[in-house]
Amino acid sequence: MIKHVQLKTIQLKNHQILNERWLQDIIADDPSIIGIGDVILKDKERIHHGAGRLDLLLQDADGNDRYEVEIQLGATDESHIIRTIEYWDIERKRYPQYNHTAIIIAEDITSRFLNVISLFNGSIPLMAIQVSAIETGDGVGLHFTKVLDVQPLGLVDEDEEVAEITDRDYWLKRGSPKTVSMADKLLSFVIEFDPTAELNYNKFYVGLKIDGRAKNYAIIRPKKDFLGLSIKIPETEENDSLINSAELITYEYDRRWGAYRLKIKENDLKEKADTIKKLLLDAKERFG
């Protein structure tokens, strides 16, 4: 029988040796430990003239996402929230080519300030991560728990009341007869599990209409020689493996909209139809 061991949690704020700098250095050495994916350290103690120093600036190893990270020992407070948002705002204005997310890491994210942070979360990409320090016989381990994630947004122009409606002829010119025909083929995949589905032509994309209402769990952008296909499913190792095994061409995962972005060629609709159908069905079951 495996013996149960009582874990001992220690408070870093009151610790004589393990301070905020120690925690910052641990995260900087291996940013993946905070649980936001494969990220690397871009900068530490980044100077913002007139605003102080940003604790950590992280960046996706293979993408265009950056994370402005502020660390707080003890409980969150007003100044911590304000600093985090201020650093995020400075960075996003200075480097608009990246998608920026503000991250608060604290030992105690209180319900009061979680409510305040949640108010910002609808308009500011913001995460809150609670850290616990656990003492063991070999040293001190850190456990990070995401208590507030970035609020996922709807797909681009999902509000059909304000979207500029176009028609099939518009996309025959903007794309090509070949790729609009490919969009018809994709629709036939969807109809297998969503029989009332139709293509819904808008200015910036071709969405889906189910029973006469927009249901954009997948959107299509016909180009001249291929389709851009966004499928609204979470980024997981299982989905990555499925897409990679089928050798589908992918762009960077769109974290802001929570969608995989694929480049679909004509032969993909024949040779990789089963994988595409599985991804579309997953999106339908989650968001349709």
DSSP string across 38-80:
SEEEEEEEEEETTTEEEEEEEEETTSSEEEEEEEEEEE--HHH
Outline which parts of the chain fall under CATH 3.90.1150. Answer: 168-287
Q: Which residues of the chain have pLDDT under 50?
A: 155-162
The CATH number of 8-148 is: 3.40.1350.10
Question: What pLDDT sits at residue 61?
Answer: 76
This prediction's pTM: 0.55
Find all residues with CB under 8 Å of 283, minimum gap 6, and list them. 217, 218, 231, 232, 233
Residues 277, 264: Cα–Cα separation, whole Å: 13
Question: What pLDDT sits at residue 157?
Answer: 44
Question: What pLDDT sits at residue 121?
Answer: 62
Question: What pLDDT sits at residue 199?
Answer: 94
Residue 202: DSSP 8-state: B
- Give how far the C-alpha of residue 232 lies from the chain's centroid of Cα atoms, to the nearest Å: 11
Outline which parts of the chain fall under CATH 3.40.1350.10. Answer: 8-148
Phi, psi of 92 (to 5 degrees): -70, -30
| b/e 268-283 (16+ beta carbons within 10 angstroms → b) | bbeebeebbbebbbbb
Residue 271, SS3?
A: helix
Q: Which residues is 57 bridged to in the sheet?
A: 43, 68
Question: What pLDDT sits at residue 155?
Answer: 47
Question: What pLDDT sits at residue 162?
Answer: 45
Q: Which CATH class is domain 168-287?
A: alpha beta
Beta strands 249-250 and 218-222 are unpaired
- Tokens representing 41? 């350290």
